[in-house]
Amino acid sequence: MAEAETRTITVFDDRSKTGLPPGEYAFCEMFCDEPGCDCRRVFFYVLASFRKGPEAVIAWGWESAEYYANWFPHADPEAIAGLMGPCLNIGSPQSELAGPILGLVRSVLLKDEAYIERIKRHYQLFRAKIDGRPMATSWSRKRIRDKIRKATKRKRRA
Ligand SMILES: [Zn+2]
């Protein structure tokens, strides 16, 4: 996995709201770097300002259940739900604050459309680097193909 961007959330002294002690919580974006894998998930590696070590590792996939079922054909619905998340990543270190941090991801990070779009963009850039194919090329090729298809359809109709 490799890191892309870090976002910080400040929690003020209002534990009743978040269940978290006050402090800065840093969410480092990580992506899977397995060649040829297109899992379309982000891993938030979460650090707190008041102590060392990871507080939580949270996984989130932004595609549909169909996408993950396709990508991982033998997975049962529960495993698919686990791929999509957001959830605490199995096998990663999780502190006693991991649950409330997951709540923060749900209620703050994943409510921010611009941030989500940025994650997807970072993922594309990251995967392009891993798989060695510049995304711009494959995008424009697809765009050209779509244009040709649309143009032929229009012609047929005319
Ligand atoms: Zn992957």
Distance from Cα 147 to the centre of ligand 1, integer Å: 31
* Structure confidence at residue 73 (pLDDT): 82
* Beta strands 54-61; 2-11: pairing state: unpaired
* Structure confidence at residue 74 (pLDDT): 84
* Structure confidence at residue 100 (pLDDT): 96
The C-alpha atoms of residue 56 and residue 15 are separated, in whole angstroms, by 18
pLDDT bracket for residue 82 (50, 70, 90): confident
* Coil vs helix vs strand at 112: coil
Distance from Cα 10 to the centre of ligand 1, integer Å: 30
Distance from Cα 95 to the centre of ligand 1, integer Å: 24
Distance from Cα 42 to the centre of ligand 1, integer Å: 9
pLDDT bracket for residue 148 (50, 70, 90): low
Sign of the torsion angle spanned by Cα atoms 57, 61, 62, 64: negative
Distance from Cα 51 to the centre of ligand 1, integer Å: 30
* Structure confidence at residue 113 (pLDDT): 96
- Do the beta carbons of residue 38 and residue 63 sit within 8 Å? no
Instruction: Judge whether residue 133 has pLDDT over 80.
Output: no
Mean pLDDT, residues 87-112 = 95
Q: What percent of the chain has pLDDT over 90?
A: 56
- Do the beta carbons of residue 124 and residue 137 sit within 8 Å? no
What residue ranges do the domains of the chain occupy? 2-133
Name the helix (H) or strand (E) containing 25: strand 23-31
* Structure confidence at residue 155 (pLDDT): 58
Distance from Cα 99 to the centre of ligand 1, integer Å: 24
Instruction: Judge whether residue 126 has pLDDT over 80.
Output: yes
Distance from Cα 17 to the centre of ligand 1, integer Å: 34
Mean pLDDT for the chain?
A: 86
